[in-house]
Amino acid sequence: MRSIKIAALGSVMLFSLISAPSADARWMVDRNADVTVYRMNTEQLLQTRSDIYFTVDVAQVNSTPQSAGKTAGPAAIEKYAIVLDGVVDKIINWDGFSENEDLSEDVVVIKLPENDGVKYFDDFGSLVFAPIYQGSIVSELIAPDEKVTPEVGLIQVVEIVAPAEPTGQPVVSASAPVVVAQEVAPNNSINMTIEVKNTDIPANSTVSVQVVTDGRSTTAIGVDPNAAVSQVVIHDLPQNENVTVKTVITNLDTNKETVIIIPIVATIPAPIVIPASARDEAADLATIAKPVVTSLVFEPSGHRVAEIKTPVIPNYDTTKTIASLMVVGPGGSTTAIGLFGMGETLTVGTLGPDFTYTVKIVLRDLASGKETFIYGDPIAKG
């Protein structure tokens, strides 16, 4: 069983109070994980095990944009957790404004606190740091004693007053993994060298270094627990992404695991040559008209049929750009129709009466892979 859960913070990290949209809206460590696991099991969720469990105030979730283009303007790039069924699946860098392929109706997006984790007192009275990482389980507080699986649109039932986060320098485990080097491989992936000091390792134990990437994909390499210092190289990590690094010590006599996690680590960017764009995105956004629904009628079946006037796309070269009209409905279901760029009127049918549909033109630059979105007015339900 996994009975000891330790989080470590590198000595170079400076500490401050976690910033949040309001005084009480922030991340906290879930000190009653058994209740969380029981609830998740009753919901028949597939992953209920985690090294660390967190709770987050519903106000923190609601203050995070849940889809791109909904805020007043771009902000500084910060880290956001992409949560699926209560589990952090990815940790992305985002400005809270621009289009992001990781965002969909199926995920909850939660802004990470300033230091990417939470300080708290463990069962031994020591001040430690719990990093938020890929695979950690998050519950949403809608009342002081009511935790639910995070979901977009939840509201506060009873006022939540979170305890103040402790101040001071957390204890750092001597066996915490340390990233000592990163290099770009010929295939533009990253090789990461990690060092572990095997301090106070119980007899008859195994030690492994683990790296977790987006989607909770894990690479684990065992090291010699009798060596004073061990180094491993993890290959084929994604470039310019956030990864989790941890040491796992397993006592074979007691079957207990000690997990030591450091705050999220950013892999270095690879110098990938990006082809020049064939189109000018700023000019397209400024000059190309939005698609317009010119007709919306009901079929005898109750479904709707829309006629949509698409804009003229200047300098449209099908060898350099692909243009399409997309009508996106519930669950991300999409009708996509290719365009010739001459201002066609297209018919899109079988739209449900009880759903709202997003209408947009997508210009995909074949040279750079960049997509430009030109939104029309949504087709409202009913």
Predicted local distance difference test score (pLDDT) of residue 329: 84
pLDDT, residue 18, reads 28
Distances from the Cα of 291 to the Cαs of 305, 342, 361, in angstroms? 16, 13, 7
Q: Report the pLDDT averaged over residues 182-207.
A: 92
Q: How far is it, in rounded angstroms, from Cα 19 to Cα 12?
A: 20
Pairing relationship of beta strands 4-7 and 256-261 according to DSSP bridges:
parallel
139 touches 85 (CB < 8 A): no
- Residue 159 CB contacts under 8 Å (≥ 6 apart), including other chains: none
Which one-letter DSSP state was computed for residue 216? G
C-beta of residue 198 within 8 angstroms of C-beta of residue 230: yes
User: Between 2 and 119, where is the model more confident?
Assistant: 119
For the chain, the maximum distance between any two Cα atoms, rounded to a whole number of angstroms, is 77
Give the pLDDT band (50/70/90) at residue 247: very high
Mean pLDDT of 91-113: 85
Confidence of residue 299 (pLDDT cuts 50, 70, 90): confident
**Is it the case that residue 12 has pLDDT exceeding 50?**
no
Single-letter amino acid code for the residue at 249: I
Whether 17 shows a pLDDT value over 50: the answer reads: no
Q: What is the mean pLDDT of residues 266-290?
A: 87
Task: Determine the Cα–Cα distance for residues 31 and 54; give it in Å rounded to an integer.
Answer: 8
Statement: the pTM of the whole predicted model exceeds 0.85 = no
41 touches 125 (CB < 8 A): no
**Banded model confidence at residue 303, pLDDT cuts 50, 70, 90:** confident
Left if phi > 0, otherwise alpha if psi is -120 to 50, otherwise beta: which for 331?
Answer: left
Whole-number pLDDT of residue 335: 86
Distances (CA, A) of 42 to 48, 142, 149: 11, 19, 11
Residue type present at position 374:
I
Strands (E), 95-169: 108-111, 117-121, 127-131, 137-143, 146-148
Listed residue (317, 357, 360, 353) closest to 337, CA to CA? 360
Residues in the chain: 382
Asked whether the beta carbons of 52 and 136 are under 8 A apart, the reply is yes
**pLDDT (tens digit per residue) in 348-381:** 888 888 888 889 999 988 887 888 999 988 888 8
Question: What is the mean pLDDT of the segment spanning 277-302?
Answer: 88
End-to-end CA, the chain:
53
* Backbone CA torsion sign across 26, 27, 33, 39: positive
Q: Are 361 and 373 in contact (CB under 8 A)?
A: yes
Q: What value does the mean pLDDT take over residues 15-22?
A: 30
Cα-to-chain-centroid distance, residue 358: 23
CA distance 222 to 206: 7
What three-state secondary structure class fits 116? Answer: coil
Q: Which amino acid is at 287?
A: T
